[in-house]
Structures are given as C-alpha cells and as structure tokens.
Amino acid sequence: MKEESSIRKSEYFMRGRESARRVTAAGILSAIAYLLMLIEIPLPLLIPSFIKFDFSDLPALIGAFALGPLYGILIEFIKNALHGISSGSFGVGELSNFLLGAVFVGVSGFLYQRNKTKRGAIFASVSGAAAMALFSLPSNLYVVYPVYYNFMPKETILAAYQAILPSVKSIFQSLLIFNLPFTFAKGMVDVLITFLIYKQLSPLLHGGE
C-alpha cells in the first residue's frame, strides 16, 4: 500500500512538473510572438498597406509542434490579446490574426500529433498553411472586413486593392487575388523557418529530453 501511494505521488509530481513546463514554455513563446507582432513589414507593391507581413505565427507553430495544437492556439490568443491593448486597429487586426493563426497552428499541430516524423511535419505544416489561406476567404469576407467597414468605407478598401491592380472589381475578387496567396506565402515562410530552427530549440521545449 505504501509503495502504491508512493508511486501515485510520484506520478502526480511528474504530471504537475510536466504541466508547469508546458505552461512556462507557452508563456515564453507567447511573449516572443507578441514582440514579433510589433515588427510589421509593409509590402506595398504586393498587397494594400493596411495588411502587413510579420513572423508572429512562428512561435505559435513551434509551440503547436512541441506542446500540442491547443497550446499553439493559446499562444495565438495571448499574443493577440497583448497586442490588442496597444494596437490602434480597434481589435480588427488582432481578430483576423487570431482566426487565421488558430487555423494554421491548430491544423498543423493536430496533424503532426498523428505522425511525428519529418515527413509528417512537412505534410502537417503545409496543410496548415493551405487551410489558413483557404479560411482567409470566408473569415475576411464575412467576419473581419464587415467589422473594418465600421471604421473604413468598403469603397476605400476596394480602392486600395485597385491602386495595385485596377481591374479588381469586388472585395471577394481582391481577397482571392491578393489575400489568399499572401496568406499562404506568409504561412510557408513560417514553416521554412520552423524547419531551420526547430531541431535546435526542441531540447529546450521538451525539458532537455
């Protein structure tokens, strides 16, 4: 009985230690993601200036692989909550970033959990980037942009796309031509960097395992 109780206590201790490690790692990755979100890179010749390129999904993708998909989504939420406090986008930019990022890291992490090999990681992350790009159409069209219209007229937003490509006639067409490929490319940049640095970070994220 004493031996059983000792084993149980040891298991509880190990579980608690593992949970604490995961929460700590998620907190650090969230802070890094927030800082990366502050570094916005405009690409005026490729997409309207109100859409910026950043690397803030990178820590969340790493977290989804190392800790699980729910932690990846949690990192996305925390970084956007922190950014929303200091942002002037009325929460619209954060809403868009969270929705797309959650799909990206959620799908990637979920698929990777089922095949933890290099090939599985490639398939999972590319699938996540593709899912994010496809999801950007309905999420922007029916959720994010309608909120934007409260602060910026629809015609003004369309005009920003037309300044780059005059033949664009509608918001949907703009999202299809500009946002979808941009979102996929953004995800693939994060995927590439993740594969370059994940091996070096893995021992730290897994507690030196």
Could you read off the pLDDT tens digit of each residue along the chain, which spans 209 residues? 555 555 555 555 556 667 788 889 999 999 999 999 999 998 888 899 888 899 999 999 999 999 999 999 999 999 999 998 877 655 788 999 999 999 999 999 999 999 999 999 999 999 999 999 999 999 999 999 999 898 889 999 999 999 999 999 999 999 999 999 999 999 999 999 999 998 888 777 766 55
Q: Residue 89: its pLDDT value, please?
A: 59
Q: Residue 123: its pLDDT value, please?
A: 97
52 Cα distance to chain centroid = 14
Q: Exposure of 29 by Cβ count < 10 A (0-12 exposed, 13-18 middle, 19+ buried)? A: buried
Tokens of residue 37, six digits? 């979100």
Residue/partner pairs of 16-21 with CB below 8 Å, 24 or more apart: 18/207, 21/207
Nearest of 54, 183, 53, 57 to residue 130 by alpha carbon? 183
* Bridge partners, residue 42, by sequence: 52
Helix (H) or strand (E) holding 146: helix 145-148
Q: Residue 11: its pLDDT value, please?
A: 55
Q: Count structural domains, the chain.
A: 1
Amino acid at 118: K
Q: Residue 120: its pLDDT value, please?
A: 95
Q: Residue 45: its pLDDT value, please?
A: 82
Where residue 91 falls (left for φ over 0; alpha for ψ -120 to 50; beta otherwise) is left
Question: Domain limits at 159?
Answer: 2-205
The shares of helix, strand and coil residues in the chain, as percent rounded to the nearest 5, are 80, 0, 20
CATH of residue 135: 1.10.1760.20
Q: 37 Cβ partners below 8 Å, 6+ apart?
A: 54, 56, 79, 80, 83, 97
Q: Residue 177: its pLDDT value, please?
A: 96
**pTM, rounded to two decimals:** 0.87
Q: Residue 18: its pLDDT value, please?
A: 72
- In this structure, the chain runs to a length of 209
Q: Residue 207: its pLDDT value, please?
A: 62
Q: Residue 5: its pLDDT value, please?
A: 55
Q: Measured between alpha carbons, how far is residue 130 from residues 108, 109, 135, 186, 194 in Å? A: 10, 14, 8, 11, 16
